[in-house]
Amino acid sequence: MVEHFTHTVKGSGPGLLLAHGGGGGAEANFGPLMDNLAATHTVVAPDLPGSGATPRSTVPLDLDTVADTLVATAVGAGVERFTVLGYSLGTAVAVRAATRHPERVTGLVLTSGFARPDNRMRLAVQVWRELLKGDRELLARFLTLVATGAPALEALSPDELEEAVAGLAASVPAGTPEQVDLVASVDNRAHLPRVAVPTLVVATTLDTLASPELSRELAAGIPGAELVEIEAGHLVAAEAPERWLAVVREFLDRRS
C-alpha cells in the first residue's frame, strides 16, 4: 500500500482527521461539514485507496494497514495529534487508529458505525459486491434504497429520484470493491475496550445499512463513550447535515 493517502488540508487549530466510508470519499462523505470545521481545526481529509486521487490498491485492504496509513497521512501533513471523525467504515478505521496510535489520537467521533457487520449489513455488502461486477445503475438503485432514510427517500419526486440514482451511478470510486471487502472483514469487538480517549458515537436511527443497534454496540463497548442519535438514514451528510455538524461541533468545542 502507499505510504500515505492523497488528501486535502483545510483550516488551522487542533487537528481533526477524517476517515470516510466504503465506496465513498472525503468530499462525498464530509463535504457539508468541512468548511465549518476548518474554521476552528486543521482538517486533514484523506481518500482511501481507489477514492479521489489515491491509487487503487493492488492487494486486499487490511484494517491495521489502512489505519496506520491514515495516521501517517496526518503526521506527514504536519498534524501530530488529532481527533478522528469516522463515518461508516471510517469508524472501524478510527477505532483501530486509536488503539494502535494512542500517542496521536486524542478523541473519536464515530458516525453510522459498527464494530462488526450484523446479518443485515452482511447481506447488503454481498449484494453490493456482486452488483459492482455489472450494472452501475442497478447498483445505484440498490444503494439508494438501503442507504436513504424513508422520509428523505419519499420526499423525492420521481425526477429527483432518477437524478439521484444517475449521480450515484456516475460516482462509484474505482476502489469500491476493495473497500467493500474491507467492510465485510471488520471485527473490532476486542479492540473497543482498549479505546482510551473521549469518544462520541452518533447513531443514525433510520439507517438500514448500518443499523442504530450497531452504533449502540459501539458505544456500549468503548469505556465512557457518549451516544447521540440523529433521525436520518445512512446518508447523514445529505439528510441531516446541520444536526450532524451540531453534535460534532459540540463535542469538539467542549474539548478545545
Quickly state the pLDDT bin for 100 (edges 50, 70, 90). very high
The reported pLDDT for the residue numbered 209 is 97
pLDDT in tens, 220-252: 999 999 999 999 999 999 999 999 999 999 999
Q: How far is CA 192 from CA 88, 89, 200, 221, in A?
A: 16, 15, 13, 5
Q: CA 71: distance to chain centroid?
A: 15
Share of the chain above pLDDT 70, in %: 99
Helix (H) or strand (E) holding 180: helix 176-185
In whole angstroms, give the CA distance from residue 84 to residue 70. Answer: 10
pLDDT in tens, 73-89: 999 999 999 999 999 99
DSSP secondary structure, 106-130, as one string: EEEEEES--SS--HHHHHHHHHHHH
pLDDT in tens, 105-140: 999 999 999 999 999 999 999 999 999 999 999 999
Place of cell 459501539: 218
Share of the chain above pLDDT 90, in %: 97
Closest to 83 (Cα-Cα) out of 113, 106, 111, 110: 106
Q: What pairs with residue 44 in β-bridges?
A: 9, 17
CB atoms within 10 A of CB 223: 11
The reported pLDDT for the residue numbered 206 is 98
Q: Where are the domains of the chain?
A: 7-119+172-255
The reported pLDDT for the residue numbered 1 is 65
Q: How far is CA 120 from CA 126, 146, 221, 242, in A?
A: 10, 10, 20, 28
Quickly state the pLDDT bin for 63 (edges 50, 70, 90). very high
pLDDT at 256 over 80: no
Q: What's the predicted TM-score (pTM) here?
A: 0.97
Q: Whole-number mean pLDDT of the chain?
A: 97
Which DSSP category does 85 fall into?
E
Quickly state the pLDDT bin for 255 (edges 50, 70, 90). confident
Which DSSP category does 70 fall into?
H
The reported pLDDT for the residue numbered 3 is 84
Q: Indicate the CATH number for domain 7-119+172-255.
A: 3.40.50.1820
Contact 131, 168 (CB under 8 A): no
pLDDT in tens, 7-33: 999 999 999 999 999 999 999 999 999
In whole angstroms, give the CA distance from residue 182 to residue 1. Answer: 14
pLDDT in tens, 163-194: 999 999 999 999 999 999 999 999 999 999 99
For residue 186, give the 3-state DSSP assignment. coil
